[in-house]
Chain A
């Protein structure tokens, strides 16, 4: 049953992806992106990743949709017709896909407990978490305690990206304004 729900949700995800790739109206694409994020969150719940599902639902469907719509408000909604034929991109993407599909034959099947990923360090945390930290949610204890240094790095990345956006977008000497001024001066002379 689990794998059936999983398969249905993943198929829906693929259908939405086709819509995202094919549509040229960016507003529709962004809304489809929100649907995509919620579907992805549902898939993640089926895959037992509840913390990740919560993050994906609030970040993917919430914040990034709002940000994209804000940017779309300043630009054009309709995407221009492509000038080049898509032969080369299809070849590149298709070739990559073929190699990756070939690679899946060497991977262990879905949902097994005795695969390499499920027999080493990840599962050790399950037994250690309560005696070491007293935290039942192992994702939190690994995130904040066992791999605290890792999370420190991630926090710094968020910090850096925030600073980058502020540097780019905060009102100051704007390049566009300089350019406009230059053009005005040129048209006068």
Chain B
């Protein structure tokens, strides 16, 4: 672990860009390639890279296991919650027009945004949780 100075420094340099790229992919998904699935995987990959370089324990100090395991159902609940809210506003499940009846285009953009956030949270936390589970077994 002493001879990998180059890898460690390069990892530290790359991490902020990876995380910003994940955020870009998430929020620019409406206008270019990307979306919740890709952004979630990229964000998880950034943390996995950190864990590979600096050890699982230091990664768990950054993003603790309990948080990751809470976030998995939270993402599904954000997604499902969007659908339930539109049901309460007298529309069908996941029909985002209900969010703003006067500007349905705005409502659709809001709905897509919320749903993508739900996907992002679920995918990224699931990937991190899976990696933690496998990494924890290895020792």
Contact = CB atoms under 8 A, between A and B. Distances in A.
B108 A143 contact: no
Given A51-B38, A155-B76, A159-B75, A70 B119 contact: no
A155 B38 contact: no
B48 A63 contact: yes
A70 B109 contact: no
Given A62-B41, A133-B112, A151 B34 contact: no
B115 A148 contact: yes
Interface string A35-78: 00000000000000011011100110011001100110110000
B93 A169 contact: no
Nearest to B83: A152
A119 B137 CA distance: 51
By secondary structure, the B interface counts as helix
Contacts of B109: 133-135
Interface residues of A, number: 45
Contact of A165 (B44, B83, B112, B129): B129
B115 A165 contact: no
Interface string B28-56: 01111111111001101100100010000
Interface string B99-131: 000001110110110011011001101110111
B56 to A, nearest CB: 10
B105 A66 contact: no
Q: How large is the interface on B (under 10, 10 to 19, 20 to 34, 35 or more residues)?
A: 35 or more
A169 B131 contact: no
A8 interface: no
A158 B116 CA distance: 14
Contacts of A155: 75-76, 79, 118-119, 122-123
Interface in A159-189: 159, 161-163, 165-166, 168-171
A149 B86 CA distance: 13
A156 interface: yes
A145 B98 CA distance: 13
B122 A144 contact: no
Contact of B108 (A59, A134, A137, A163): A134
A169 B137 contact: yes
Given A51-B34, A134-B109, A155-B75, A166 B41 contact: no
Interface of A: 50-51, 53-55, 58-59, 62-63, 66-67, 70-71, 73-74, 131-137, 139-141, 143-145, 148-149, 151-152, 155-156, 158-159, 161-163, 165-166, 168-171
